[in-house]
Amino acid sequence: MRVGTAPITWGVCEIPGWGPQLPYSRVLDEMAAAGYAGTELGPEGYFPRDPDRLRDELDRRGLAMIAAFVPVNLRDPEAVDRSLAAVDDTARLLARLGAACIVLADDGDAARQQVAGRVQLTETHGLSASQWRTMAGALHQAADRAADLGIAVCVHPHGGTYIENPAEIRRLMESTDPSRIRLCLDTGHIAFGGGDPLALARKYAGRIGLVHLKDIALDRLRQGVAQGHGYTRMAQEGVFVELGTGSLDLKSIVGELDAAGYEGWLVVEQDRVVKPDDDTLGVARRNRRYLREALNL
């Protein structure tokens, strides 16, 4: 397993109004200084879109391009073509940069974000059978088109979206072709949605295409839910924490992946807001040190 990271750990997020975004040169410098081997692409427009320029930025720091996170609406037939065009565009860039995976997540909506983290409500505010059929068909289209570029599609369960809770993850996996659709195992978001990332790592070991290794403070999640907060506010206020300081048994999760023969990337993430004077390099180094000292990675 190789260890990478993503710009979200530096507060760089696609959600409008999330918080300050640091210059990409600083973020790449700190990724390399902290000892990571690769990065994800980050939100549209954050890194240079010219592949030669971006490849030069990565090569100078010894970083590989791992994947890209792309929020899409594949549940609405009228939005499918537009979403697939965005997937195609990003997949072409990833192929030019030597990446092997594109991460797709449902883009959710305001109603779903407000009930995020509340399994009883997300289970009753979900997709219809028709919407599930539309999504599965569109995911297969995306996978077939990306495969022509040598890119695999990994689907990311995510807080505040229509693939969040355990039943929705199960429906996703049962509705899609295992040879075409893989799972992005995001340990923090799975726990946010009421799931057990260790159990999912065991159950779907053969379909995991990418791992987002993230820790979460479940007491903060419960507090945010009790206060009526939605997904974005809970994430902005620090429900996702540094590795080893939260509620997840990351050692057992990584051990399960290792036992199953997973040899892909572990992308360290901490969804958070940063301020310009925050010690972002210190956070990145502590997360990387945890993997070395606790997991021998």
Q: Which domain holds residue 163?
A: 2-295
**Confidence check: pLDDT of 57 > 80:** yes
Q: What is the CATH number of the domain that holds 266?
A: 3.20.20.150
Average pLDDT of the segment spanning 285-297: 96
**Confidence check: pLDDT of 277 > 90:** no
What percent of the chain stands above pLDDT 70? 100
**Confidence check: pLDDT of 276 > 90:** no
**Confidence check: pLDDT of 217 > 80:** yes
Residue with tokens 């594949």: 74
DSSP 202-218: HHTGGGEEEEEE-EE-H
For residue 244, the one-letter residue type is G
Identify the pLDDT of residue 275.
83
Continuous segment of H or E residues that includes residue 174:
helix 166-175
Work out how many domains the chain is built from and give that number.
1
Q: How confident is the model at residue 96 (pLDDT cuts 50, 70, 90)?
A: very high
Identify the pLDDT of residue 83.
97
3-state secondary structure of 104: strand
Identify the pLDDT of residue 131.
98
* Average confidence score pLDDT of the chain: 96
User: Residues 6 or more apart from 57 whose CB is under 8 A from it?
Assistant: 24, 25, 28, 47, 48
Largest CA distance in the chain: 49
3-state secondary structure of 50: coil
Which residue, among 214, 211, 207, 191, has the nearest Cα to 290 in the 3D structure? 214
Which residue, among 151, 147, 268, 154, has the nearest Cα to 209 in the 3D structure? 154
Rama region for 243: left / alpha / beta (φ>0; ψ in -120 to 50; rest): beta
**Confidence check: pLDDT of 78 > 80:** yes
The structure's pTM equals 0.96
Q: How confident is the model at residue 122 (pLDDT cuts 50, 70, 90)?
A: very high
DSSP 235-292: HHTTSEE-TTSSS--HHHHHHHHHHTT--SEEEE-------TTS-HHHHHHHHHHHHH
Q: Give tens-digit pLDDT for 104-121.
A: 999 999 999 999 999 999
